[in-house]
Amino acid sequence: MLGELLKPLRGEGVCLRPFVHADAEGFACAARESAGSVGRWMSWCHAGFSVGEARAWFAICAAELAACSAAELGIFAVDGGEVLGGIGLNHFIVEHKLCNLGYWVRASRQREGIATHAVRTMARFGFADLGLMRIEIVVAEGNVSSAGVARKAGALYEGLVRNRLVVDGVSVPAWMFSMVPDSVGRSQ
C-alpha cells in the first residue's frame, strides 16, 4: 500500500521520490562530498562511498517500500534530477500511528533550506496519506544543524534521550523532536 500511495512528492522547491538505478552515480558523489559533514553523524557516509554501495542501498529502499516498512526517498531538485540528499520515514509503530523521520543534504547544498523543505513535504505526506499522528526526529546531541532543521520545519523539542543513537559504534544521547499534524511548517 505504501508504494502505491507514493508518487513523487513536490513541495517548496524539492522533489522527493524513490531512487532509481540511474541515480547511483549522483548519490555516490553526494555521499563522498559530504563525508566531512554528514559522515560525522551517519557512518555510512564516507569518502570512498561507491556506486555499488549506492545501488545496494537503493535495493534495500525498494524492498522496504514494497514491504511497507519504510519510505526512504531521495531529495532531488524540483525537476527530479540532481541528487540533493535523502529522507526517510521508518521505524513505524502502526498501532500508535508514529514513525521516525531522518534526513541529510549533500555538503554543497547545505544551508539553502533544502532539508527544511524536504522535512515539511515528507511530514505532510506522513500525516495526510499515511494517517500518522506523530513523527519523531531523533538528532545526535551536538548535531546543531540537524536540530535547527527540525525546529524550522515545525518540530517541537521534547528533551535529551540517553543512549538513543549509535554513531560510529558508540551509543550516544540524542535530542528528541516531534511533529504532529498541526505542527508542519510552524517554526519553534
Spell out the domain ranges in the chain: 2-183
pLDDT at 186 over 70: no
pLDDT at 4 over 80: no
pTM: 0.93
Q: Indicate the SS3 state at residue 124.
A: helix
Residue type, 67: A
With cut-offs at 50, 70 and 90, classify the pLDDT of residue 12: confident
Q: How far apart are CA 33 and CA 47, in angstroms?
A: 7
Q: How far apart are CA 158 and CA 137, in angstroms?
A: 10
Q: How far apart are CA 103 and CA 150, in angstroms?
A: 10
Higher pLDDT among residues 80 and 127, named by residue: 127
What is the bridge-based pairing of β-strands 71-77 and 83-93? antiparallel
CATH homologous superfamily of 2-183 equals Gcn5-related N-acetyltransferase (GNAT) (3.40.630.30)
Q: Are 71 and 62 in contact (CB under 8 A)?
A: no
pLDDT at 1 over 50: no
pLDDT digits (tens, 9 = 90+) for 63-88: 999 999 999 999 999 887 899 999 99
Percentage with pLDDT > 90 across the chain? 85
pLDDT at 40 over 70: yes
